[in-house]
Amino acid sequence: MIPTHWFLILSAILFAIGVCGVLTRKNGITIFMSIELMVNAVNLTFLAYARQFHQIHGLIFVFFVMAIAAAEAAVGLAIFISLFHHRATIDVDEANLMRW
Amino acid sequence: MAANYSVLLVAALIVLSLPVLTLFVLAPLVRASRPNKVKLEPYECGVPASSFAFDHRFSVRYFLIAVLFIIFDVETVFLFPWAIRFKQLGWFGAVEMAVFLAILLVGYFYAWKRKVLTWV
Amino acid sequence: MTWNDVVFLLPEIIISIGASLLLLAPVVGWRQRETSAKWSMLILLGITALTVIGCSYWVQEIPQSRSLAGMFALDGFAIFFKLIFITAIAMITLLSDDFLRESRYSVWEYYSLLGFALCGMMFMVSGMSLISIYIGLELMSLSSYILAGFFKNEEKSTEAAMKYFVLGAVSSGILLYGISLIYGVCGSLNLLDIGRALSTIITNDALMFGVMLLGAGLCFKMAAVPFHVWTPDVYEGAPTPITAFLSTASKAAAFSIFARIFYLALHDFQLDWSNVLATISALSMVLGNLAAITQDNVKRMLAYSSIAHAGYALLGIISLNSLGLRGVLIYSLVYVFANLGIWATVLMLRRHEYGGERVDDFEGLSRRAPFWAFAMVIFLLSLGGIPPTAGFIGKYFLFAAAIQAGFGWLAILAVLMSAVSMFYYLRLVVAMYLREGREADVAITRPLQIVAATCLIITLLLGIYPTPLINQATESSRWIGARAAIIPHAGR
């Protein structure tokens, strides 16, 4: 059996890549993909722990996280379409109507 | 059991630095950067590109369909656990699933009536 | 889940069925009947409130009734907050009425989303497992993202929605990672099991890391300082009634869930997290209040003030004693009603979208509408925590709890910062009473009057005669407060 640590380290790496993507990218859709990466890295953590504990709770949580991530994707895409409608760009650095 | 996880924080620090290193330090050093016209062209299955992607926008309806697809596609994950325990859950499970599907149908009906599914 | 569980979930079931019907109404030909949208929403909220009250009689017998395999609890704490949420949403429905009539956006979908957000908040505050808490939180957040961008033809509203969405999605990812690490260390997602597991586990790095990430995610939802950056922009850009929603109901929901998680699950972790949270609380109070002074836009000023109020509410969570928990309950109620009153007054001034957003717009209000100017002063005094108003009672409990828990320095800082906050609250008072106003009209409509008057009565009545509120808060927080008291703290 593959030790749980390996899964945890992989998911930590994926999560960190996701965070880096959110922090450095400018394109809204790319940011969005990075967020999905973060969420799926968390799913991997849950699955690894659920396997280690032989528990079903972690698996159930993953189901809900998947469904919620899909709903989040739908809302996010809609918001970006709306933004594109105004600006003809989804570069998040351009969203600067409001400052301090 | 507790000590097993103390490695996690260290791991987290290492992995945080990993993408930074590879994305911003290692990759620019290692990769060859010799762009030319053909390389920068978008790949269209080997067929020469007829126009730039930004010349004509995709209809917003593609995105609407995509949004609907994501939701209805993923909601099916809840059907699988019910399906493998169909017998044990019995009538209660069946009613429960009917309620769940009814909620999905409300959304579907709304989208349908708002003419999201009609391609104009 | 069995048929019995349905009874516990009845309020949530009713509100979600109702919200679905509100969504369907416009597509079956009711689109134009906008007045009936408001009334349907209010009737729906009324029925839900009655069901919650019905459930509260149930709870008198058993201190905490659980269902859905222990994931959903009905206790006094949950019922107290559910009633606050329902009342707040009803008031926001009234505030939205005229605002929506002037715009061309669909009213039905708006109320439907408010209903779903309410359902999420009600489910979340009853959550006894991190799964149900997360689902409720996301239902609330997703509805709020859409509502923030509801006026999609206005660029500001869309931009606010985008900022709120991106930062909110990242924060919920971080929260999830925290949950997953806590699950990994404790082997359970149930709050009580986590609490039990933590009393035997020696603190380790993964746990520390998990709690910090969970705390960061929750701090984002309640807009505490380092995680507050979204607040001013979203509050400014969102439609004003939605800003009212975000700064009252949504905020109270974040307070409640923060309190539930930390009092039930993480009390044994107090030694480690209390100092971090104390720093966050101090930073929120200082930065929120100081930044609010410089604002000319009322919505932004109130956004910074709400950051400061998150800092005050954290006092009750850090102190981790029954006084603090009561403080959180009382303060949430007091804060929600004072704030809703302020938003009602801001909406009275609103003419053609942008009026009522600048401090200048309040000039001369005392001559144009003397009574509502007076009401505004009462609301501002309540937020500042000045004695004859209800705000004083809330702050008194929080500060007393902090002192009792040994956070005297934080209590002193909080008192000082309350004094600072009076400075910018008084700026509005000065504008209303001492400045000559431009002769601009005010739109004082019946729904706004009802909301402002109700908030005024609540704020004054509870300030002068707070005993029923204190008794109710004591009663409602008994079960959770007792949990926290059982376990001896290392920090004492």
* CATH number of the structural domain B56-120: 1.20.58.1610
Nearest to C93 by CA among C50, C137, C44, C139: C44
- List CB contacts (< 8 A) between C20 and chain B: 103, 106
Whether residue C271 is predicted with pLDDT greater than 70 in this model: the reply is no
- Assigned domain for A10 exists: yes
| Mean pLDDT, range B88-107, rounded to an integer | 89
- List CB contacts (< 8 A) between A23 and chain B: none
Q: Which of C12-21, C267-276, C336-345 has the lowest mean pLDDT?
A: C267-276
- For residue C291, the chain A residue with the least C-alpha distance is A100
* Helices then strands, each counted (H, E), chain C: 22, 2
Cβ neighbourhood burial of C284 (10 Å; 0-12, 13-18, 19+): buried
Q: Give the CA count within 13 Å in the CB-facing half-sphere of C397.
A: 30
- Higher pLDDT: C353 or C415? It is C415
- Using pLDDT thresholds of 50, 70 and 90, give the confidence band for residue C488: very low
CATH code (residue A49): 1.10.287.3510
| DSSP reduced 3-state for B54 | coil
Q: Give the CA count within 13 Å in the CB-facing half-sphere of C292.
A: 31
Both tokens of residue C87? 């009342």
CB contact at 8 A, C232 and A100: yes
Chain C interface, Cβ < 8 Å to A: 130-131, 134-135, 138, 142, 145-146, 149, 152, 155-156, 158-163, 165-166, 169-170, 172-174, 176-177, 179-181, 183-184, 187-189, 232-233, 236-237
Whether residue C137 is predicted with pLDDT greater than 90 in this model: the reply is yes
- Using pLDDT thresholds of 50, 70 and 90, give the confidence band for residue B44: low
Report pTM.
Answer: 0.90
CA–CA gap between residue C434 and residue C49 (Å, rounded): 42
Name the maximum alpha-carbon separation found in chain B. 66
Q: Which of B10-24, C133-147, C296-310, C343-357 has the lowest mean pLDDT?
A: C343-357
- Higher pLDDT: B106 or C34? It is B106
- For residue B4, the chain A residue with the least C-alpha distance is A5
CB contact under 8 Å between A63 and B67, yes or no, is no
Q: Which helix (H) or strand (E) holds C74?
A: strand C72-75
The predicted pLDDT at position C354 comes to 55
Helices C298-319 and C230-237 cross at an angle (nearest 10°) of 130
Give the residues of chain A that fall short of pLDDT 50: 100
3-state helix, strand, coil split of chain A in percent (to 5) is: 80, 0, 15
- Assigned domain for A94 exists: no
- pLDDT single digits (tens) C235-258: 999 999 999 999 999 999 999 999
- Using pLDDT thresholds of 50, 70 and 90, give the confidence band for residue C60: low
Counted across chains A and B, CB pairs separated by less than 8 A come out at 54
CB contact under 8 Å between B15 and A16, yes or no, is yes
CB contact at 8 A, B74 and A70: yes
Which residues of B, range 81-110, sit inside 8 Å of A by Cβ? Answer: 81
Residues 6+ apart with CB under 8 A from C72: C5, C8, C9, C66, C123, C126, C127, C128, C132
- Assigned domain for A47 exists: yes
Name the maximum alpha-carbon separation found in chain A. 54
CA distance between the termini of chain C? 41
Whether residue C135 is predicted with pLDDT greater than 50 in this model: the reply is yes
- List CB contacts (< 8 A) between A5 and chain B: 4, 7
Q: How many domains is chain A partitioned into structurally? A: 1
Nearest to C240 by CA among C329, C117, C315, C348: C348
Whether residue C289 is predicted with pLDDT greater than 60 in this model: the reply is yes
- Assigned domain for A50 exists: yes
- Assigned domain for A97 exists: no
- Using pLDDT thresholds of 50, 70 and 90, give the confidence band for residue C353: low
CB contact under 8 Å between B74 and A24, yes or no, is no
The predicted pLDDT at position C198 comes to 83
CB contact under 8 Å between C24 and B106, yes or no, is yes
- pLDDT single digits (tens) C299-320: 999 999 999 999 999 999 988 8
Whether residue C226 is predicted with pLDDT greater than 60 in this model: the reply is yes
The CA angle C175-C178-C181, to the nearest 5 degrees, is 155
Whether residue B49 is predicted with pLDDT greater than 80 in this model: the reply is no
- Name all chains with 3 or more CB-CB pairs below 8 Å to chain B: A, C
- List CB contacts (< 8 A) between A19 and chain B: 16
